[in-house]
Amino acid sequence: MSVLWVLGAGQLGAMLKQAATPLGLDVRPVDIESTATLPLSANDIVTAEREEWPETIATKQLATHSNFVNLATFPQLADRLTQKQWLDRLELATAPWFPVESDSTAQHAYQTLGARVLLKRRRGGYDGKGQYWLKQADNTDIPEDWKGHAIAEQAINFDEEVSLVGVRGKNGEKYFYPLTLNLHINGILYASIAPLKRLNALQSKAETMLSTLMDALDYVGVMAMECFRIGDDLLINELAPRVHNSGHWTQAGASVCQFENHIRAVAGLPLAPMEVKNQSMMVNLIGVDLNYQWLTIKGLELYWYKKDVRPGRKVGHLNFCANDHSVLQNALSELNLPAPYPEALTWLAKNLP
Ligand code: ATP
Ligand code: MG
Ligand code: MG
């Protein structure tokens, strides 16, 4: 039987493998630093858990396989410059921006984008790393080493952040999870909650936007679209051509989770509309030690990534799914986590219907 290789062996690769096991599929995440010769066969399939990678012994073998799904799309979306150009070309609303070139000035940024401008590195940024604020009030200048390597984006005064996770099959059929409400603190995702009735009014607008993109790229698999909600409008913040942290709640809260859907799509297996179960919420474990006492909390599902704990590092997540909302409220009151978690848990409690 053919093997499904995953470029990257982090938590997303592990969860792809876990989701594919009941389907009887052989999924093998590959550490990009591996020096092994991979036993690739012509009819194997290759996917990725990350949108960019350095050229290594492992990635060279995978990236030259003829069944690497979406291979041409990764560089288009991994570079914020070309990603923004795609959004503009497809007339999809996004935060106003311009490329930061060698002759770009902060003055120009303030004139065209306003008094607060966010510089984002074109490549490699995640969890809010690779961002730099320009503030007119402080007379901030563009650092020399950001010129040619960043885009400048208008500061968006959004009401809240939502994301849409969808899957597209080889013949173009598409299915979407309900919009997820997300809380980022200092640029990193702390908590998600879905589904929320009050977001239903935005669902079809969001689906149309992500459909346009997936169709234009002839994309196969799961893609995530992060948005700012401003009143009834959505502005695309960024896209991820892979399974996404804001879709982790689907492991507990949907008949088919995002990981299984991605595997099904790239393996050419049937897709079907997903049944969404009850109310879900997700809490990322960021820089906190593993605590098995969490397991005493009703409704809690623990995912621990077995990574070294470091400040600001995602080391696991907690899923909750329940019909009875008092179970969720109780779980939140029982979770004892350090700052800034009280803010995240209060936010979840407030947003539970
Ligand atoms: P991810 O881990 O999601 O890949 P990232 O490092 O790629 O994150 P973004 O998603 O672009 O970065 O930004 C991280 C967070 O910073 C956003 O979720 C949002 O909270 C905030 N942010 C990003 N762009 C803007 C903006 N233009 N105006 C205001 N806040 C912003
Ligand atoms: Mg990102
Ligand atoms: Mg993001």
CA 292 to ligand 2 center in whole angstroms? 30
This model's pTM is above 0.90: yes
Stretch 268-295: mean pLDDT, rounded? Answer: 98
Distance, CA of 27 to chain centre? 21
Is the model's pLDDT at 1 over the cut of 80? Answer: no
- Ligand 1 atom nearest the C-alpha of 184 is 20
Nearest CA to ligand 1 atom 5: 126
Count CA atoms closer than 13 A to 132's CA, side-chain side. 20
Q: Which two tokens stand for residue 323?
A: 């019909």
Domains and CATH numbers, the chain: 3-68 (3.40.50.20), 96-154 (3.30.1490.20), 160-351 (3.30.470.20)
Report pLDDT for 212.
Answer: 98
CB of 156 shorter than 6 A to ligand 1:
yes
Q: What is the mean pLDDT of the chain?
A: 97
Percent over 70 (pLDDT), the chain = 100
What ligand 1 atom has the least distance to the C-alpha of 95?
27
Torsion angles phi and psi, residue 4, rounded to 5: -105, 110
Let me know if 179 is exposed, middle or buried by CB neighbors in 10 A (0-12, 13-18, 19+): buried
Ligand 1 center from residue 181 Cα (angstroms): 14
Average pLDDT on 145-164 reads 98
Mean pLDDT across 73-91: 98
ipTM of the complex: 0.98
- Tell me the pLDDT tens digit for each residue of 241-264: 999 999 999 999 999 999 999 999
Collapsing DSSP states into helix, strand and coil, what is residue 323? coil
Task: Answer yes or no: is the C-beta of 335 below 6 A from any ligand 1 atom.
Answer: no
For a mutational test of ligand 1's pocket, the pick from 100, 238, 242, 243, i.e. the residue with the most ligand atoms closer than 8 A to its C-beta, is: 238
Q: What is the pLDDT of residues 3-37, one digit of tens each?
A: 999 999 999 999 999 999 999 999 999 999 999 99
Q: How confident is the model at residue 148 (pLDDT cuts 50, 70, 90)?
A: very high
Nearest to 223 by CA among 286, 177, 188, 189: 177
Closest CA to 122 of 154, 81, 155: 81
Closest ligand to C-alpha of residue 284 is: 1
pLDDT tens by residue, 157-197: 999 999 999 999 999 999 999 999 999 999 999 999 999 99
Say what the pLDDT of residue 160 is: 98
Pocket of ligand 1 contains residue 161 by CB under 6 Å: yes
Alpha helices in the chain (DSSP H): 11-20, 57-63, 73-78, 80-89, 106-113, 200-216, 250-253, 258-267, 325-334, 341-351
Would you call the peptide bond into 22 cis, given omega within 30 degrees of 0 as the criterion? no
Name the closest ligand to CA 130. 1
Q: How high is the pLDDT of residue 321?
A: 98
Query: For residue 122, what pLDDT is reported?
Result: 98
**Per-residue model confidence (pLDDT) at position 155:** 98
pLDDT of residue 200: 98
Give the residue, by CA position, lying nearest to ligand 1 atom 12.
Answer: 128
Q: Classify residue 126 as left (phi > 0), alpha (psi -120 to 50) or beta.
A: beta
- Please give the full DSSP string across 23-61, using - where no structure is assigned: GT-EEEEE-TT--SPP---TT-EEEESSS-----HHHHH
Q: How far, in Å, is the centroid of ligand 1 from the Cα of 191?
A: 14
Identify the residue whose tokens are 């997700």.
282
Q: Over pLDDT 90: what percentage of the chain?
A: 99
**Torsion, CA 336, CA 339, CA 340, CA 346, rounded to 10:** 40
Which of 252, 263, 280, 270 is CA-nearest to residue 69?
263
Ligand nearest to the CA of 188: 1
Q: What tokens were used for 312?
A: 């600001």
126 lines ligand 1 (CB under 6 A): yes
Q: What is the dihedral of CA 106, 108, 111, 112, to 10 degrees?
A: -110
pLDDT digits (tens, 9 = 90+) for 302-349: 999 999 999 999 999 999 999 999 999 999 999 999 999 999 999 999
Who's near 59: CB < 8 A, 6+ residues apart? 7, 32, 53
Question: For residue 128, which atom of ligand 1 is closest to its CA?
Answer: 6
